[in-house]
């Protein structure tokens, strides 16, 4: 036994050493510049994002600032909508769906009917003369230090540039060098696709001013060049000559303060930010950026082994994966990339990641590049706790705080209820009313689903101070649904009406998804109140409502019913599978407590099929992981990591050459949801225990992970070989009892906060 323990420790040490080596190779790499936006490489610091094309004769860096949107402070609620609620409900009860939808469209929707678009900010252009004939081209995004780089050789001179978006300095920095003295010559300028724009040049700086169309927001961006060459202005461009190095610092800001205030002064903010880096140099900026980034990124590491394909360019690997999904390092890279994108698009103090994260190059982006709460926004945050970036959850909590204000107005105006509500789409002005069309815009799950993220953060961190601070949001959401639920005249159950099952079936009474989420919210509200020892009377009232809510039902095809009526169509292959919410991200339906419902949910998923858009494939990977069918989950991962060839808008997701998820077009939720599904293959903790390798696919027979987090405040490191667990370490952060399960063996042990516990592959303590 002693020899076995020594060998196990040696193996873990070997993996750690090898992991350090492998970590140096975590990057996206290419042999040619980007020609399309979805080939460019993203950098970001939560508020400033940029896409690097890596051109030779001309570099193009398209950039965004998170608060540049159309529109202006606005209350989207319809003050007369509540007058029609009962009539809409009656029409639905009588089976008059079309009449209900028509009335709702006319009288119940937001004012105005549509929200507004997230906007691109501007573009940096750098022209290099006589660089047409080049060799040794290399373009990379290093995930270990969050730096994009381009290098190539022209006439024996090596040219290199690095691009980063610094969180501590709040700038984008572009550093250019040449291996030969005075060989670096380029023209530099700013531009934008906005109609209302102006560019001003002053010495070594250039400033871009933009004003959004149809809105109150304006933006200011300034770049400054530092170089050992000469700078002059020629034709509105900065011309840098006879340099061997040059650094471009850029920052941007708008007049947005919050969803009610646009009195900001970007023309003052921008020079103040640039002044702070005026006394430093690129080396110091880079070191500060890397230190800040790695303090978060290095908490977690994952590997599934490397069969040598990691040496190939990333676009080639994606293409090859479609025919031969045997590239385990690409799967690990996908998780690492998701963590990178989280850090780049959602930092404490910034806004949450939109449908496109923080990156957008269009004045009218798909789906407004907004926050869609019937799956997509929440999916952006599914993996943050598990892959040890808990503080990156904070921007979502800030948004929930805002929605509790605007959503309270909607609750009162539309539903004659207290508390707060959010519907399926939200913009920067925090519009919480139903938008676009009644047949899919009147969806009631937003407040409940978002509130579960507060609870999940507590479950992973065991932070009671946080729970106490945010409890009001949970309680007020529960208050709304307690008053909104409607007694169905046909069944006597409490149901959600009017609503819909996203985005299928039209306006209905009693969609299954709503009831699952509301039950989850009520249970959370009750449990949170007990933990905090508050609101006993309200908690008892909520507890009494739970068994009165319409239950999950199994239909005539053996499926989990999507609606109150048994009218599911097994030939329907719609991308939404919303009625399986209680399987994932919920946990009401599971093999231990509700095996019949779990089998029915699985039947529903089989009927719905394996095709889908990018985020739909990602959700299905999570479902199949919860079904403990890792091979089926990997089959869908195969689709998700294959090329996004169907860029015509038709269903069929995949990945673009830069590994962005394809709806198509680009939506970032699939990146995050796919990473969540991969993690669910190797660890699950949603049933009051930590299950190791619960859905490990045959395609990933070996691997290791360190820094993965489980509910209850536990951080784990473990490895496996030939599909079998080799050893596991559990760090207890909260001191709670731990239940650990692998295959048929379960152990339970008490823990002390701050102490690490070690077990071998048979869960014997070492």
Question: How many Cβ atoms sit within 10 Å of the Cβ of residue 554?
Answer: 17
Stretch (H or E) spanning 662? strand 661-662
Paired sense of beta strands 690-692 and 703-710, if any: unpaired
Query: Alpha helices of 144-281 — where are they, by DSSP H?
Result: 266-276
Nearest to 616 by CA among 680, 660, 677, 682: 677
CA distance 160 to 205: 22
* Intervals of CATH 1.50.10.10 along the chain: 81-116+317-673
Q: Which residues of the chain have pLDDT under 50?
A: 1-23, 647-649
> Looking at the DSSP assignment, which residues form a beta bridge with residue 254?
219
Q: Residues 234, 186: contact at Cβ < 8 Å?
A: no
| 3-state DSSP assignment of residue 253 | strand
C-alpha span between 568 and 410 (Å, rounded): 32
* Letter string b/e over residues 96-112, b meaning 16 or more CB atoms within 10 A of that residue's CB: ebeebbbbbbebbbbbe
Other Cβ atoms within 10 Å of 320 Cβ, number: 17
Token pair for residue 451? Answer: 């509130």
The residue ranges of DSSP E strands in 262-367, in sequence order, are: 301-303
> Please, how many CA atoms are within 13 Å of residue 53, restricted to the half-sphere of its CB?
19
CB 370 within 8 A of CB 356: no
What is the reported pLDDT for 651? 52
Say if residues 667 and 661 touch (Cβ distance below 8 Å): yes
Are 237 and 271 in contact, with CB atoms under 8 Å apart? no
**Which uninterrupted H or E stretch holds 411?**
helix 394-415
> What does the pLDDT read at residue 25?
67
Beta strands in 3-133 (DSSP E): 27-30, 41-44, 48-52, 58-65, 122-128
Task: Assess contact for 455 and 431: CB atoms under 8 A.
Answer: no
Q: Nearest Cα to 477, choosing from 514, 525, 435?
A: 525
**If we measure between CA atoms, which residue out of 273, 264, 289 comes closest to residue 164?**
289
Cβ-count burial 598-614 (b if 16+ within 10 Å, e if not): bbbbbbbbebbebebbb
Q: Cα(303)–Cα(596) distance, rounded to whole angstroms? A: 35
Q: Is the pTM of this model over 0.85?
A: yes
Helix/strand/coil for 737: coil
**Could you give the CA distance from residue 599 to residue 594 in angstroms, rounded to a whole number?**
9
> Tokens 């941007």 belong to which residue?
252
Residues in the chain: 766
691 within 8 A of 684, measured Cβ to Cβ = yes
- Report helix angle 595-608 to 614-626, nearest 10: 150
For the stretch 251-303, pLDDT in tens is 999 999 999 999 999 999 999 999 999 989 999 999 999 999 999 999 999 99
Written as six digits, the tokens of 376 are 């997509």
How far is it, in rounded angstroms, from Cα 428 to Cα 351? 9
**How many other CB atoms sit within 10 Å of the CB of residue 535?**
18
Instruction: Sort strands 27-30 and 135-142 into parallel, antiparallel or unpaired.
Output: antiparallel
CB 651 within 8 A of CB 307: no
CATH top-level class of 32-68+119-274: mainly beta
CATH of domain 81-116+317-673: 1.50.10.10
Distance in angstroms (rounded) separating the CA atoms of residues 684 and 637: 18
Interior angle at CA 455, CA 452 and CA 461, nearest 5: 140
Chain segment 34-51, per-residue pLDDT in tens: 999 999 999 999 999 999
Cis-peptide into 585, omega within 30 deg = yes
- The answer to whether 577 and 501 have CB atoms below 8 angstroms apart is no
* Cα 113 from Cα 503, distance rounded (Å): 18
CB distance 656 to 644 below 8 Å: yes
Beta strand extents in 554-656 (DSSP E only) = 654-655
Q: How far is CA 280 from each of CA 305, 375, 527, rounded to the nearest angstrom?
A: 41, 44, 51
């Amino acid at each position: 036994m002693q020899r076995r323990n020594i060998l196990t420790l040696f193996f873990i040490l070997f993996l750690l050493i090898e992991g350090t080596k492998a970590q140096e190779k975590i990057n996206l790499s290419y042999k040619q510049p980007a020609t399309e936006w979805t080939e460019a490489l993203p950098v970001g610091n939560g508020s400033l994002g940029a896409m690097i094309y890596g051109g030779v004769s001309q570099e193009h860096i398209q950039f965004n600032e998170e608060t540049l949107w159309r529109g202006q402070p606005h209350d989207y609620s319809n003050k007369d909508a509540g007058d029609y609620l009962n009539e809409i409900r009656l029409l639905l009860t009588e089976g008059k769906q079309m009449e209900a939808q028509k009335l709702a469209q006319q009288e119940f929707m937001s004012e105005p009917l549509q929200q507004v678009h997230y906007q691109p900010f501007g573009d940096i252009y750098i022209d290099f003369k006589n660089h047409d004939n080049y060799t040794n081209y290399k373009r990379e995004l290093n995930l270990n230090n969050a730096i994009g780089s381009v290098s190539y050789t022209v006439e024996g001179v090596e040219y290199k540039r690095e691009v980063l978006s610094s969180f501590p300095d709040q700038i984008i920095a572009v550093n250019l060098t040449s291996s030969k003295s005075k060989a670096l010559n380029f023209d530099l300028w700013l531009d934008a696709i906005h109609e209302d724009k102006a560019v001003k040049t002053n010495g070594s700086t250039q400033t871009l001013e933009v004003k959004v169309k149809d809105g109150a927001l304006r933006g200011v961006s300034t770049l400054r060049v530092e170089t050992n060459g000469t700078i002059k202005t020629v034709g509105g461009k900065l011309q840098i000559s006879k340099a061997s190095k040059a650094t471009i610092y850029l920052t941007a800001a708008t007049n947005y303060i919050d969803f009610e205030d646009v009195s900001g002064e970007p023309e003052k903010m921008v020079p103040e930010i640039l002044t702070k880096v005026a006394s430093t140099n690129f080396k110091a900026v880079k070191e500060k950026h890397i230190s800040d980034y790695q303090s978060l990124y290095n908490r977690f590491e994952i590997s599934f082994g490397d069969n040598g394909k990691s040496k190939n360019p990333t676009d080639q690997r994606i293409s090859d994966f479609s025919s031969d999904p045997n590239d385990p390092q690409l799967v690990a890279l996908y998780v690492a990339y998701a963590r990178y994108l989280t850090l780049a698009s959602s930092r404490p103090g910034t806004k949450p990641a939109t449908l496109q994260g923080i990156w957008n190059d269009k004045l009218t982006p798909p789906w407004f590049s907004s926050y869609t709460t019937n799956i997509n926004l929440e999916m952006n945050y599914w993996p943050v706790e598990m892959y040890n970036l808990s503080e990156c959850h904070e921007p979502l909590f800030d948004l929930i705080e805002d929605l509790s204000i605007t959503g309270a107005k909607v609750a009162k105006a539309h539903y004659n209820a207290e508390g707060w509500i959010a519907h399926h789409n939200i913009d920067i002005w925090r519009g919480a009313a139903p938008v676009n069309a009644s047949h899919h815009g009147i969806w009631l799950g937003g407040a409940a689903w978002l509130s579960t993220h507060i609870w999940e953060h507590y479950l992973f961190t065991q932070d009671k101070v946080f729970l106490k601070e945010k409890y009001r949001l949970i309680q007020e959401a529960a208050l709304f649904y307690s008053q909104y639920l409607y007694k169905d005249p046909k069944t006597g159950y409490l149901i959600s009406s009017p609503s819909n099952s996203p985005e299928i079936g039209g306006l209905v009474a009693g969609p299954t998804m709503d009831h699952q989420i509301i039950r989850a919210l009520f249970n959370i509200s009750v449990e949170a109140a007990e933990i905090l020892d508050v609101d006993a009377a309200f908690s008892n009232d909520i507890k009494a409502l739970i068994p009165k809510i319409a239950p999950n039902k199994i239909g005539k095809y053996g499926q989990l019913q999507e609606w109150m009526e048994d009218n599911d169509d097994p030939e329907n292959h719609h991308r939404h599978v919303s009625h399986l919410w209680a399987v994932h991200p919920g946990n009401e339906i599971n093999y231990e407590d509700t095996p019949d419902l779990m089998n029915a949910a699985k039947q529903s998923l089989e009927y719905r099929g394996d095709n889908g858009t990018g985020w739909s494939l990602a959700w299905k990977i999570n479902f199949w992981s919860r079904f403990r069918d890792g091979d089926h989950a990997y089959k869908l991962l195969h689709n998700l990591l294959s090329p996004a060839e169907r860029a015509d808008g038709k269903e069929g997701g995949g990945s673009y050459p830069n590994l962005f998820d394809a709806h198509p077009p680009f939506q970032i939720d699939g990146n995050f949801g796919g990473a969540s599904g991969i993690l669910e293959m190797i660890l699950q903790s949603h049933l009051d225990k930590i299950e190791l390798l619960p859905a490990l696919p045959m395609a990933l027979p070996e691997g290791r992970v360190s820094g993965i987090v489980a509910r209850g405040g536990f951080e784990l490191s473990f490895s496996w070989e030939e599909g079998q667990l080799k050893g596991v370490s559990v760090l207890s952060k909260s001191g709670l009892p731990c239940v650990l399960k692998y295959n048929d063996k379960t152990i339970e042990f008490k823990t002390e906060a701050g102490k690490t516990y070690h077990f071998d592959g048979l869960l014997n303590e070492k």
